[in-house]
Chains A and B, each alone.
Chain A
């Protein structure tokens, strides 16, 4: 009897210990996907193993605290974008207690009221986890009743507000009423259709043959590292003209030839690029290609800190090293790779990492590859693969051939990495997703450089035309400009929202 009981106790204790060890290993070092309540949406899969990036609240924190903390983690990455969007429904607008009656409908003080992660079954585009007709919650009664304020909207369903190309919840920069009126009635294509920032960039003087020879003569590098092809590429690049020498990247802190040879690094990392190209590095970390290098992604967990959090003020070093030896923190790899991508990619693209060098060769300045070639060597979706048959592609070829002035080309980068110019300095946005989703974000920085607002709205509302990379004309017309103009010319048609 006694022996039986002892055996039972040992069995229970062993079970608990083994389960605890297995749990610890899974939680700390194993495939943490086991604990994920549901798939993450969109690109969050890139950082989903770093749970603490979003989940910063302490265990057992109140629901209210958790919601507030999640607001903060959303804005860690999405703040700039919301600020730039001139957000129509900013959280601060709903914090005033006078909005309390709205909190019961949709509590717009919290991101998670509309964007709830780990809910793949109900997630719509833009990580929306409310039904598409969510506007009905607030804009269907009282002073906010859109059908009273806008007779033209009387027969429209609420599921069409944000899906038709007319309204967005956050970003209405290109589709607010006064903007529609201001840009009404323009021809679909401008006569001189050029992107001004690209014109500045492409009009820059190229180095003369003499200058290239002078740069070549100035090359200083250890003999065994010299390469005629590399020297030639470098001498023709903007790096040479800007006095960025071999040592600037391969041995940045060395001053004498001996020190350069001693400190030489064959393949300098991205940090070297980012030293000078700060705006590019910053925006790269906000897009899908580079988001894993965002500085706020949770670092691998620290065993010492975790033990302290558990109440062990001075955890023995032996325990720390034992834990560190036992568990291997599976934080996401520091770079996105094509193997993990969830968008259609070409078979040849598999197995590539995404670094600066993926699109930019280290020595040769080949912006045509960076602007088109690199994109099309991976992306296999219809829109990308239709580019070479598109009118935009024809413009690019015409500019390359010298038949059109600089800035006329429309490459992948023209639309997805729009350039801005300030005081003669052109900056390229390296967040390739900044002008997507909702795609009306592209209208002002990109489309309207060449097209009318009306054409841009219609074209972006036609998904087949987008898939054909804009070969042809839109198959629909969005009434928003017409309605806005008619309301302004007949002010009795209802009051402003």
Chain B
């Protein structure tokens, strides 16, 4: 998908995130696609762990605590989508080197609907082509970004049960293993 080499920046990012990636790749500089793939691997692994081992176990299987959007007021677990967003916002406060978000064509919170043409294209692509990722370049606010979209899969009952039951969900027939949305990762290419 025409990924250019952003050697220095990508090498720094890759160095921070690679966790044992081949040293030769670092020496040569990594392409954007490799960097976003590695970033996504960390994100999706942490996200799956939280969803399965915390929320699904405690809220769905053992029923010892609930998960709620208003987790403070309700003394409840943070929703997996909030967990992901809080992390993304914390990253945004620390660096401009990359940004990420969890979006969907069927969001409960409309803020998480696609806002750019490429987000829409990417989300449609990953929904139509299960197992594939989407990569592209787009210009936003005068800056060109490498944009990668990864499928976000219903990994536990907690995911689809909650979305199917929520009064504001535009889609109520999600099943285990469905693509429910996508993780969008962006790296600025110029500057």
Question: Could you list which residues of chain A lie within 8 angstroms of chain B, going by C-beta atoms?
Answer: 86, 90, 92-93, 95-103, 143-144, 149, 176, 178-179, 488, 491, 495-497
Which B residues touch A488, using CB under 8 A? 167
Q: How far is the CA of A496 from the CA of B115 in the complex (A)?
A: 17
Chain A residue nearest in CB terms to B110: A143
Closest CB-CB distance, B111 to chain A, in whole Å? 8
Kindly state whether residue B49 has any CB partner on chain A within 8 Å: no
Q: How far is the CA of A101 from the CA of B118 in the complex (A)?
A: 13
Q: How far is the CA of A363 from the CA of B147 in the complex (A)?
A: 67
Chain A residue nearest in CB terms to B103: A98
A100 touches B167 (CB 8 A): no
8 further A-B pairs in the complex, CB-CB below 8 A; given A97-B186, A98-B119, A143-B110 = A93-B89, A96-B99, A97-B99, A97-B140, A97-B143, A100-B116, A488-B167, A495-B110
Chain A residue nearest in CB terms to B166: A496
Q: How far is the CA of A319 from the CA of B181 in the complex (A)?
A: 67
Which B residues touch A178, using CB under 8 A? 69-70
Task: Return 10 A-B CB contacts under 8 Å, by A number.
Answer: A92-B92, A93-B111, A95-B99, A97-B145, A98-B119, A98-B140, A101-B115, A102-B115, A491-B168, A496-B108
Kindly state whether residue B184 has any CB partner on chain A within 8 Å: yes
Which B residues touch A86, using CB under 8 A? 72
A179 touches B73 (CB 8 A): yes
Closest CB-CB distance, B18 to chain A, in whole Å? 24
Chain A residue nearest in CB terms to B69: A178
Kindly state whether residue B109 has any CB partner on chain A within 8 Å: yes
Kindly state whether residue B23 has any CB partner on chain A within 8 Å: no
A103 touches B109 (CB 8 A): no
Chain A residue nearest in CB terms to B141: A100
Which B residues touch A100, using CB under 8 A? 116, 140-141
Dominant secondary structure at the A interface: helix
Which A residues touch B119, using CB under 8 A? 98
Closest CB-CB distance, B37 to chain A, in whole Å? 20
Question: Could you list which residues of chain B lie within 8 angstroms of chain A, going by C-beta atoms?
Answer: 69-70, 72-73, 88-89, 92-93, 96, 99, 101, 108-111, 113, 115-116, 119, 140-141, 143, 145, 167-168, 170, 184, 186, 188
Which A residues touch B101, using CB under 8 A? 96, 98
B170 touches A103 (CB 8 A): no
Which B residues touch A99, using CB under 8 A? 115
Which A residues touch B111, using CB under 8 A? 93, 144, 497
A496 touches B93 (CB 8 A): no
Chain A residue nearest in CB terms to B114: A98
A496 touches B110 (CB 8 A): yes
Number of A-B contacts (CB under 8 A): 64
Which B residues touch A90, using CB under 8 A? 89
B110 touches A92 (CB 8 A): no
Chain B residue nearest in CB terms to A96: B99
Closest CB-CB distance, B8 to chain A, in whole Å? 20
Among B89, B109, B188, point to the contact of A496 (Cβ < 8 A).
B109
Chain A residue nearest in CB terms to B188: A97
Which A residues touch B116, using CB under 8 A? 98, 100-101
Q: How far is the CA of A100 from the CA of B168 in the complex (A)?
A: 26
B170 touches A97 (CB 8 A): no
Closest CB-CB distance, A173 to chain B, in whole Å? 9
Q: Which 5 A-B pairs have the closest CB atoms?
A: A496-B168, A100-B141, A491-B167, A100-B140, A97-B140
The answer to whether residues A495 and B170 also contact, given A95-B92, A98-B116 and a CB cut-off of 8 A, is yes
A149 touches B110 (CB 8 A): yes
Chain A residue nearest in CB terms to B169: A495
Closest CB-CB distance, B187 to chain A, in whole Å? 10
Among B70, B113, B140, B184, point to the contact of A143 (Cβ < 8 A).
B113
Closest CB-CB distance, B167 to chain A, in whole Å? 4
Which B residues touch A179, using CB under 8 A? 70, 73
Q: How far is the CA of A314 from the CA of B70 in the complex (A)?
A: 58
A497 touches B186 (CB 8 A): no
Q: How far is the CA of A99 from the CA of B143 in the complex (A)?
A: 13
Chain B residue nearest in CB terms to A91: B93
Q: How far is the CA of A99 from the CA of B141 in the complex (A)?
A: 9
The answer to whether residues A495 and B168 also contact, given A96-B92, A98-B115 and a CB cut-off of 8 A, is yes
Q: How far is the CA of A175 from the CA of B160 in the complex (A)?
A: 29
Chain B residue nearest in CB terms to A176: B70
Among A93, A96, A491, A497, point to the contact of B110 (Cβ < 8 A).
A497
Among B70, B110, B184, point to the contact of A98 (Cβ < 8 A).
B184
Chain B residue nearest in CB terms to A93: B89
Which B residues touch A96, using CB under 8 A? 88, 92, 99, 101, 186
Which B residues touch A497, using CB under 8 A? 109-111
